[in-house]
A and B are shown apart, each in its own frame.
Chain A
Amino acid sequence: MIELEIGHAFADLAIDIRFRANSRWLALFGDSGAGKTTALNAIAGLLEPERGRIALDGQILFDRCAGISISAGARDVGYVFQDGRLFPHLDVRANLMYGARARKRSTADMMSLVDLLDLGALLERMPLSLSGGERQRVAIGRALLSQPRILLLDEPLIGLHREARMQVLDYLSRLKQEIDIATLLVSHQPEEAAALADEVILLDAGQVSAQLDVATFAARQKISVPASQAG
Chain B
Amino acid sequence: MSTLTSAEWQALLLSLQVGFLSVLASLPLAIGLAWLLSRKRFPGRMLVEALMFLPLTLPPVVTGYALLVLFGRNGWIGQWLDPLGIVFAFRWTGAVLAACVMGFPLLVISIRVAFDQVDQRLERAAETLGASAWRRFFTIVLPLSSRGIIAGCVLAFARAFGEFGATITFVSSIPGETRTLSIAIYELMNLPGGEAGVARLTWVAFAIALAATLIAAGLGGSLWGRRRHD
Residues of chain A having any CB pair with chain B under 8 Å: 44-46, 71-79, 81, 85, 87-89, 98-99, 102-103, 142-143, 146
Contact = CB atoms under 8 A, between A and B. Distances in A.
B41 interface: no
B132 interface: yes
7 contacts: A45-B128, A73-B128, A78-B129, A87-B139, A87-B140, A99-B129, A143-B128
B35 to A, nearest CB: 18
Interface string B120-157: 01101111111110010001100110000000000000
Given A89-B143, A89-B144, A81 B125 contact: yes
B144 A88 contact: yes
Contacts of B131: 73, 98-99, 102
Question: Do most interface residues of chain B lie in helix, strand or loop, or is the interface mixed?
Answer: helix
A75 B124 CA distance: 13
Given A77-B128, A102-B129, 8 more contacts: A45-B127, A71-B127, A73-B129, A73-B130, A74-B130, A79-B125, A88-B122, A102-B131
A61 B151 CA distance: 43
Contacts of A75: 128
A71 B90 CA distance: 52
A72 B129 CA distance: 8
A74 B144 CA distance: 25
Given A72-B127, A98-B126, A85 B132 contact: no
A146 B125 CA distance: 12
Q: Which of A71, A78, A98 has the most CB of B within 10 A?
A: A98
Nearest to B128: A79
Contact of A143 (B127, B129, B132, B144): B129
Nearest to B132: A73
B229 to A, nearest CB: 11
Contacts of B126: 87, 98, 102
